[in-house]
Amino acid sequence: MNVQPDLSFIKYLKGAGGDTLKQCYQCATCSVTCPLSSDEKPFPRKEMIWSQWGMKDNLIADPDVFLCHQCGDCTTYCPRGAKPSEVLGAIRSYAYTFYGWPAGLAKLATSAKNLPILIGIPVIVVFVMWLISGAMHIPSKEVFAEHGYHEFFGHWGFKWYAKNIFFIVLIMLTSAAIACFSLYRGLTKLWASMSENAGISSTYRPSAPQFISRFLWPSLVEIVKHSRFRECGTNTNRVTGHLPLMLAFIALFIVTTWSLLKNDIIGLFAPSWIGPMHIWDPFKILANVAAIALLFGIYVLWTNRTKSEQAGDSSKTFYDWFLIWEIAAVGITGLGAEILRWLNIPTLGYIVYFCHLVAVMMLFLYLPYTKFAHIAYRTTAMAFEKFRESAFGKTAVEG
């Protein structure tokens, strides 16, 4: 077998947290301890071999790489300190950049030296939109007490669509659209690469309802339950951090949807519904509980990561910390803006709300290129795993 190693890929892995990969001497301890490993797929031993040999194409098309939860069992029991979990994290980081679109934006999100640009882009966009809206001013305490941030981008006489919502949707929907298109391109390429590596042709394809019911939906249920997280032994407390975060995002999505429905649909026919939600409103309570859960979850992940680095079990990388900083910024500025509205401090409230919009835009815009992308890539890998073992995958291989 003639192997042409990709030396630049090996260099990337070593710089992205996988600097210990050369210490691996293939004892297979990692495969023995990993709950995802099997006799047929000695994970992550084969991935460590491929990494040492610079076999990039094999790794970025390997579903097992994305199924890994980086629980750290393999790193804990590795007798050589090769830190397989960190190597796999570096591979995923590379894959998100490789599959990301546009390439320039994907590469920006790979290094801490680009942080001023990563922050600067959303700052400029939100600032320019605020300037164009003609509402760039701090309201009086009376106006702030009545409207909160519902007129941050101003107000116009058009009844059927609020000016504030128009600008927020323009900013966030555009960011989300770029992220979704990038993920679509990346996941499509990933699926094609995984199928090719598995020898699966496109002859036998399930219908859309079949794909959703048999492969996608069971994968989503498994992710929501955190089933595989609970199989890990060393860092089982990671569930304590990840689960509240996931539930918090689901709850905040529900609250945001209700807020739009209340103010911009129901409010058209019942003007009394327009405005900030009362503190005892059930959806406001849900939002506050979700905000606390989000901050608690990020605190757990922050402390776990810090302890892991201090113990020498993991490396300090921009890839791992960028998402933690992003989510923390969203939670702190969101809760801070609400508290300042309660205290009726419009000047500081508007500044913090501006920062909140920037943080949320960053979360949307950079989703496909950061650790947050694992939500989409892991789900796709899980669905492919089920597809590969189904009659569709096996028939396609046999055919």
> pLDDT grade, residue 383 (50/70/90)?
very high
Contact 360, 330 (CB under 8 A): yes
Closest to 357 (Cα-Cα) out of 173, 114, 172, 132: 172
With CA atoms as reference, report the closest residue to 184 among 365, 380, 381, 387.
380
The predicted-structure confidence for 331-355, as pLDDT tens digits, reads as follows 999 999 999 999 999 999 999 999 9
148: left (phi over 0), alpha (psi -120 to 50) or beta: left
State the Cα–Cα distance between residues 15 and 315, nearest whole angstrom: 10
| Per-residue pLDDT at 150 exceeds 90 | no
- Cα–Cα distance, 25 to 3 (Å, whole number): 18
Same domain (yes/no): 85, 162? no
91 & 140 share domain? no
Residue 210 resides in a domain = yes
Say if 113 falls within a structural domain: yes
User: What are 40-65's pLDDT values in tens digits?
Assistant: 778 888 888 888 888 899 999 999 99
**Residue 348, both tokens:** 């500081």
Q: Are 77 and 126 members of one domain?
A: no
Of 124-133, 229-238, 266-275, minimum mean pLDDT range: 229-238
**Under 8 Å CB-to-CB from 175, ≥6 apart: which residues?**
122, 361, 364, 365
- The residue count of the chain comes to 399
DSSP string for residues in 94-124: HHHHHH-SSHHHHHHTT-GGGHHHHHHHHHH
In this prediction, residue 22 has a pLDDT band, given cuts at 50, 70 and 90, of: confident
Residue in 365, 330, 336 with CA at minimum distance from that of residue 350: 336
Sort 207 into a burial class: Cβ within 10 Å, 0-12 / 13-18 / 19+.
Answer: exposed
Residue 381 and residue 352 in one domain: yes
Q: Which two tokens stand for residue 360?
A: 């949320």
What type of residue is 20? T
* 158 and 89 in a common domain: no
User: Does some domain include residue 234?
Assistant: yes
Do 270 and 246 lie in one domain? The reply is yes
Residues 268 and 131 in one domain: yes
Given 54, 84, 99, the domain boundary residue is 99
Mean pLDDT throughout 188-215? 87
Q: Amino acid identity of 136?
A: M
> Residue with structure tokens 């055919």?
399
30 and 83 assigned to the same domain? yes
Comparing 45-49, 153-157, 203-207, 307-311, the range with the smallest average pLDDT is 203-207
* Domain closes at, from 99, 120, 150: 99
- Which of 40, 67, 99 terminates a domain? The answer is 99
Residues 389 and 355 in one domain: yes
pLDDT-derived band at 242 (thresholds 50, 70, 90) equals: confident
Residue with structure tokens 């030296």? Answer: 113
Per the structure, the complete domain to which residue 63 belongs is given by 7-99
Q: Is 310 exposed, middle or buried (0-12, 13-18, 19+ CB in 10 A)?
A: exposed
pLDDT at 41: 77
Distances (CA, A) of 302 to 64, 140, 167, 345, 399: 26, 38, 33, 30, 49
- CA–CA separation, 366 and 168 (whole Å): 17
Query: What is the mean predicted confidence (pLDDT) over 10-27?
Result: 82
CB atoms within 10 A of CB 260: 16
* Residue 277: DSSP 8-state: P
34 with 147, same domain: the answer is no
Rounded Cα–Cα distance for residues 251 and 324 (Å): 19
The answer as to whether 2 is a domain residue is: no
Same structural domain for residues 108 and 89? Answer: no
CA distance 343 to 340: 5
The answer to whether residue 159 sits within a structural domain is: yes
Residue 73 in any domain: the answer is yes
CA distances from 127 to 176, 365, 393 (A): 18, 16, 50
Which residue is listed with tokens 């300190």?
81
Q: Could you tell me the two tokens for 90?
A: 């570096």
Claim to verify: residue 167 and residue 312 sit in the same structural domain:
yes
CB 340 within 8 A of CB 348: yes
pTM value? 0.88
Whether 251 has a pLDDT exceeding 80, the answer reads yes
Q: How confident is the model at residue 231 (pLDDT cuts 50, 70, 90)?
A: low
Domain count for the chain, please give it.
2
